[in-house]
């Protein structure tokens, strides 16, 4: 129902087909020829954008993210072609082919989410520090859209039509790849370090510090871990020198205090970090008798 109502011509065709007389015939002809023109336009657009890798596609911005808008244009055209021919070839059976329709739904979701990522980046003022997050997100989403279209074509019942659609959608093969490891590492560094990018990303998250808020405890532990980087380096050096022998952080702090390796304020910070980490990692524990029937 959603596919029919969202299509610019299918609903009009169905309504016209239910009307009698010349008026219904005229409406049907108008909707049918409009549908044919729409399909031909989408096929042509999808093919040209795929061949040129959407380099000449219009973009609402002329910034570093321009290419992502162009790729969204390409896969939007491909999605329009795939969904149109799915309805044409399968008709009412499409709703029963749930794996096929779900893949088309995944393509639409990926395109929508990629658009929201770019929109959010623009709304935030195009901060250069946030660019790795944008690149990783959009590349992941566009790769997923590509792969879902590929899997849709593989599983289409009409193999001749599937081959035709593959020529239109992927004339040069599947060119999108997942984000490289280097970019993934940058993203991991951003979201695990205290900074403006992380603050913007978690702006609506409830990170207030408190015993009953796990996210708040994580935030506090993260801040403490950054404050104690140099102190931890001292512990590691003392371990290499053989002064500290334990692998357990709690015992390392005790030995560092015993041998005077760390100052009193450094000991306090390390103990605070240790307690916070222990709090986060702790789980409920029950005695053997508590598991039995009362």
Under a CB-based contact definition with an 8 Å cutoff, are residues 34 and 9 in contact? Answer: yes
- Three-state secondary structure string covering the chain: CHHHHHCCCHHHHHHHHCCCHHHHHHHHHHHHHHHHHHHHHHHHHHHHHHHCCCCCCCCCCCCCCHHHHHHHHHHHHHHHHHHHHHHHHHHHHHHCCHHHHHHHHHHHHHHHHHHHHHHHHHHCCCCHHHHHHHHHHHHHHHHHHHHHHHHHHHCCCCHHHHHHHHHHHCCCCCCCCCCCHHHHHHHHHHHCCCCHHHHHHCCCCCCCCCCCCHHHHHHHHHHHHHHCHHHHHHHHHHHHCCCCCCCCHHHHHHHHHHCCCCCHHHHHHHHHHHHHHHHHHCCCCCCHHHHCCC
Q: pLDDT band for position 165 (50/70/90)?
A: very high
**Burial bucket for residue 85 (CB in 10 Å: 0-12, 13-18, 19+):** buried
Rounded-to-integer distance, Cα 76 and Cα 138, Å: 14
Q: For the ranges 16-20, 123-127, 172-176, 188-192, which has the lowest average pLDDT?
A: 16-20
Query: Which pLDDT does position 277 carry in this prediction?
Result: 87
Q: What is the mean pLDDT of the chain?
A: 85
Query: Which pLDDT does position 284 carry in this prediction?
Result: 74
- Sketch out the chain's domains with CATH numbers: 2-191 (1.20.140), 204-281 (no CATH)
Of 275, 271, 277, nearest to 235 (Cα)? 271
Of 116, 121, 119, 114, nearest to 148 (Cα)? 114
Rounded-to-integer distance, Cα 257 and Cα 243, Å: 11
More confident residue, 290 or 112: 112
Of 109, 106, 54, 103, nearest to 77 (Cα)? 54
Query: Which pLDDT does position 163 carry in this prediction?
Result: 95
Other C-beta atoms closer than 10 Å to the C-beta of 107 total: 24
Query: Which pLDDT does position 151 carry in this prediction?
Result: 95
pLDDT at position 68 over 90: yes
Q: pLDDT band for position 2 (50/70/90)?
A: low
Half-sphere exposure of 274 (CA within 13 A, CB side): 15
């Amino acid at each position: 129902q959603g596919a029919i109502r969202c299509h610019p011509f299918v609903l009009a065709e169905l309504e016209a087909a239910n009307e009698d007389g010349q008026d219904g015939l005229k409406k049907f002809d108008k909707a049918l020829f409009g549908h044919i023109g729409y399909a031909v336009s989408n096929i042509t657009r999808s093919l040209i954008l795929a061949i040129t890798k959407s380099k000449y596609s219009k973009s609402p911005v002329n910034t570093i993210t321009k290419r992502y808008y162009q790729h969204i244009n390409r896969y939007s055209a491909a999605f329009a072609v795939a969904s149109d021919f799915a309805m044409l070839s399968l008709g009412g059976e499409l709703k029963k082919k749930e794996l096929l329709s779900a893949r088309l739904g995944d393509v639409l979701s990926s395109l929508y989410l990629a658009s929201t990522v770019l929109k959010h980046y623009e709304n935030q003022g195009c901060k250069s520090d946030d660019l790795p997050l944008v690149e990783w997100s959009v590349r992941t989403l566009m790769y997923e859209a590509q792969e879902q279209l590929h899997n849709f074509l593989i599983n289409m019942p009409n193999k001749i039509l599937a081959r035709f659609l593959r020529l239109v959608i992927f004339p040069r093969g599947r060119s999108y790849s997942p984000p490289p490891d280097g970019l993934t590492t940058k993203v991991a560094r951003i979201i695990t370090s205290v900074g403006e990018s992380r603050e913007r990303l978690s702006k609506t998250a409830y990170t207030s510090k408190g015993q009953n808020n796990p996210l708040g405890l994580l935030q506090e532990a993260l801040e403490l871990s950054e404050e104690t980087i140099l102190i931890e380096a001292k512990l590691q050096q003392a371990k290499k020198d053989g002064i500290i022998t334990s692998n357990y952080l709690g015992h390392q702090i005790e030995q560092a205090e015993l041998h005077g390796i760390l100052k009193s304020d450094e000991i306090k910070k390390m103990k605070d970090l240790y307690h916070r980490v222990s709090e986060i990692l702790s789980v409920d524990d029950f005695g053997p008798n508590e598991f039995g029937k009362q």
